[in-house]
Structure 1
């Protein structure tokens, strides 16, 4: 998946951006645990580690990038307020950081965002605007607010500060797993994979990066196939956090995913469902569908076997209880 690697030099991030992000967000973001899953390790015959980004206060990794971006704003920008568009987790991250810093925030979401995430947004005090049937349509409303009210838009993924913030996950993994060989990363707009990929491959280019997405509406996957960003109609999926376009004018993540991702896997809905239930059963761990895609890749023996440690990014845990009840019923 390393084709079409032409990277615009003016847009290129470096490992120094990630170290800067690590220092900037330290006052807001706590280091997350990395644990070995002995059940998964035994299944594949190599050490498998879980990077628990689901334990952040908002229940998802997105708070890293949001903190780095918002903390980089000048005082005038903070005073005017901020806006964002999201499938849920990024919106919660922006609302959480804005509340901590006393900044007014508007979050634009589509009608597809699950109730659990809408309720969390309300608790965090953000003003919510529900617009359209996709993240792209919610984004259109967000940019209208930028023009109407002078709000600063906090991009969900295609922004150097967002990418660098997510990349701090890679630095933490490197510090704890010296024999790291493989990392499995949920793939949507590409901010998470771009940041972690940059952090890891700047240290050791031989580390393999595998992106995982759902079969339905995998926009980055389909865009890579045709060599340019495209739009897709969003379809219902358990991995709702991976929905949303990558932007037809994508400046960063499309090229960075091309550069750093070694392989990409599409996960069936029934595999996502089973993996969510499996982790509740075996690890007593709640995770949302997007986070379970990496576990599904291991359970399905989809990752090429080799020596050395494998890490899975457990990206979030924000899922409706009604979904969990159905999963448990089907699993048992």
Structure 2
């Protein structure tokens, strides 16, 4: 494909600024982010890894119902949040707890849904973070709608919409790209290509040269980036966000990364991938790479990560007494007579089941 669509095509190879050994890649045509920006990223990466591992431990202790770990993918999520301005929006998937926390959501609140509670855990409008989306890609058309609405109002809002490689196989993904392109909505679609949709490898999902190429058919420029290189992500995603903010329309970015742990605690990854394949990605760890480049004392960063882990343990180890009245809250904007009747019936039944001291009979 040449000519008019050349500007839509991604790089032949993913953009990399710092190699796996922590050395700057020469002649990339892109400047490395400044040291303060990279230090901020490293601090967040260390906290993110600790949060991932702490949450996985809480699953084994029965304090979380499920946890889709992003161990190894933290750079994608940390940077996706860091390149956004306060007024921008983030639309995460179920695996993007790290990105949610990086946007300022209390990590205990960010894990509420995964604990099995009935609500998402945080106020989306306060943090400008949509709820976790468990169904694949269903959040992407919503992200485009928010971006389009902001553009109609003349607001400088950009929306970062996250999905995985499995999400690109869903109809919602393609509808969202077409919708965004036609409306020139200020959306950055970030695909975290971790090579597996649960047990389905990428080769069984698509025959495209890359996932970033999927934008071409919709008139959306695509780019590929090393998803384990925080510096490259800062450059590519930062550029995409500013382009969208300036009225340049949507962009599709494919970040090449790897899911180091199982899909969730309910998955046995050894049934569909070899340990040697996982081991090959250990040397490409995003934290080790950035740390090797910066060569800074990480003591303060790791102490902060431990404080976050302690806060998560304390928050999730508290037993919350369920309130049956919540069954009837937020069902309708205006409560219906039937709902009031049902609530009264439950209250009466509960009252009759308790003795004079408030204990169940």
TM-score by length of 1: 0.37
Structure number with larger C-alpha Rg: 2
TM-score by length of 2: 0.34
Which structure is richer in relative contact order (CA contacts within 8 A, separation 6 or more)? 2
More strand by share: 1
